[in-house]
Structure 1
Amino acid sequence: MPHATSPRIPPLPIDELEPDQRKLAKLGADTVIQVLARNPELMKASSDLGAYLLSQSRLLPRLRELAILRVALRCDAPYEWANHVPAALGAGVTEAEINALTDPEASWAPEDDAVLQAVDELCAAAFVSDETWARLAATRDHAEVIEVLYLVGYYRMMAGFLNSAGVAVKPGQPVLGERVEPRPAGEATPVTRPSSGRTGADGRWDITFTHPAGSKPLVLDLQTAGAAVRGSITDGRLGVTVPIVSGTVEGGHLEFTAELTEPARFDIGVTGTIDGDVFTGSVTISGGGTFPFSGTRAG
């Protein structure tokens, strides 16, 4: 399909974005936010729907990302592909599955195949055939089928916008349809073991979790009272601090949850173990996957 070979709408510089727009851009796909920011009312409406589909959808994150990548292929949308390959890997899609999206002879589980066939039909004719509809309905309720239709429609719309506006892929990002090579097994960043002599969870912790799109630092401020955990999680890059809404501690094992509401809504779950001044475990982001983390006591 044809698409602009150079930007037709210049991205608004980051320092000219409104604070909430800047935070949204820092979540990822910053170039598209910088372009959409030239129509801020539309950007907010579009971002709200996109955030719902990514973080609150009834569809499993893995299947959602497979569908988005298939839309990118069928609509020849390089930017969409480049930004959703890391998201797909984070959501549990394997490199082999991503590569299979370009193979017409690939074999899929029936529930996956029904969704991918629906993507193909919607992109080709804006209609799901009776046969494919029956296959979708065999494993999904009406609400889930509606979400499949909306997901495909949203990313078809975005593909048309991205291709026509000439939103550019950044150097080093995945290239549309090219083979994705296997990655080393995901592991938390190794940490040097400090020794403050302190025990327990209370205090500040600097942690880093590992995502296919890149590592991300967070700051945890934890307070315990009996078996309860409270405190906050801070993303310094976004400039956002969110409270821990529930949590428990038993010995050195902690589990707690925080809710991010701005610039988009996500639940963040942390499960980990403290050994002296070292904290290791996993971070789960609603709709985004589970990723290892490691960190150390900072205060």
Structure 2
Amino acid sequence: MSRISFPDWSVLSLDTQAAVDRFPVLINSVRALTAAPTLTAPLLDLVTSILTRLEISARHREMLILLISYETDCVYEWVQHVPQAHRAGFPDEEFPLLIDEERRSADEADNALLKFARCYLRSSGCDEAHLHLLREHFSDRQTAEVLLLLGAVRMFTLYINALGLEIDAAGPELARRFAALAGQEQ
């Protein structure tokens, strides 16, 4: 059970109701956003864009989301995104890359991304050396997407943790529906 109550559907504005209806699956994190009704639509649009419209690969996106989940101890987000990570081509065998900083991927872009993300998440941003390493593998647009994804998902995981949301069993369905929205349905 959440630490705060969510508004009754009938008191939400039509815009907020429409934003929730557009989201592929009604899950607890979406319900939690309705507690801030004027922010619900823009935040759900942000989530949908992050999950469907980035230039960085879906695999890298999910690596970052799982890393943020791990770094912020957000079990809810981890459970929701494991199926999406699998669908994006990030298998269980590679999960140790997220947990053990000494592990290295055969892909240097993965290593640069994870090193940069850890620096960003553990400090108040990033230093020039880590940013330079990231930019050796990612374009300016992709670098901006990485920065915004890290900040946005971190915000969501902290909100979810603060509320103590119960885990939904919708991870596989979310993965399927967001892949379809992104035009990656298999």
TM class, shorter-length: 0.7 to 0.9
1:41-71 Cα deviation digits (max 9, x unpaired): 2011111112111111111001000011001
Corresponding residue number in structure 2 for 1:139: 137
1:81-117 Cα deviation digits (max 9, x unpaired): 1111111112121111224322233211210111111
Q: Alpha carbons of 1:215 and 1:125: their partners in 2 closer, same or farther (altered >3 Å)?
A: closer
Q: Which structure is higher in strand share?
A: 1
Shift of 1:118: 1.6
Distance 1:148 1:13 in 2: 35
**Between Structure 1 and Structure 2, whose CA radius of gyration is higher?**
1
Query: Of residues 153, 158, 161 in structure 2, which corresponds to 1:160?
Result: 158
Work out whether 1:97 is the aligned partner of 2:105: no
1:58 partner amino acid: E
Corresponding residue number in structure 2 for 1:269: none
Within 5 Å, which residues of 2 pair with 1:220-259? none
Within 5 Å, which residues of 2 pair with 1:18-33? 19-24=17-22, 27-28=24-25, 30-33=27-30
CA contact (8 A) 1:68 1:155 kept: yes
Corresponding residue number in structure 1 for 2:148: 150
Gaps of 5+ in 1: 1-5, 174-211, 218-234, 236-265, 267-283, 292-299
Corresponding residue number in structure 1 for 2:2: 7
> Secondary structure at the residue paired with 1:140?
coil
Larger relative contact order, structure 1 or 2 (CA cutoff 8 Å, min sep 6): 2
Distance 1:50 1:91 in 2: 17
Corresponding residue number in structure 2 for 1:88: 85
Query: Of residues 172, 180, 183 in structure 2, which corresponds to 1:285?
Result: 180
1:213 partner amino acid: P
> Secondary structure at the residue paired with 1:59?
coil
After superposition, the CA RMSD in angstroms is: 2.9
Corresponding residue number in structure 2 for 1:60: 57
TM-score (norm 1): 0.54
Work out whether 1:75 is the aligned partner of 2:72: yes
Gaps of 5+ in 2: none
2:108 partner amino acid: P
Distance 1:288 1:107 in 2: 31
CA contact (8 A) 2:19 2:40 kept: no
CA contact (8 A) 1:21 1:37 kept: no
> Secondary structure at the residue paired with 1:104?
coil
1:226-249 Cα deviation digits (max 9, x unpaired): xxxxxxxxx9xxxxxxxxxxxxxx
Distance 1:97 1:15 in 2: 44
TM-score (norm 2): 0.83
Q: Which structure is higher in helix share?
A: 2
CA contact (8 A) 1:79 1:168 kept: yes
Corresponding residue number in structure 1 for 2:115: 117
Distance 1:85 1:16 in 2: 34
> Secondary structure at the residue paired with 2:99?
coil
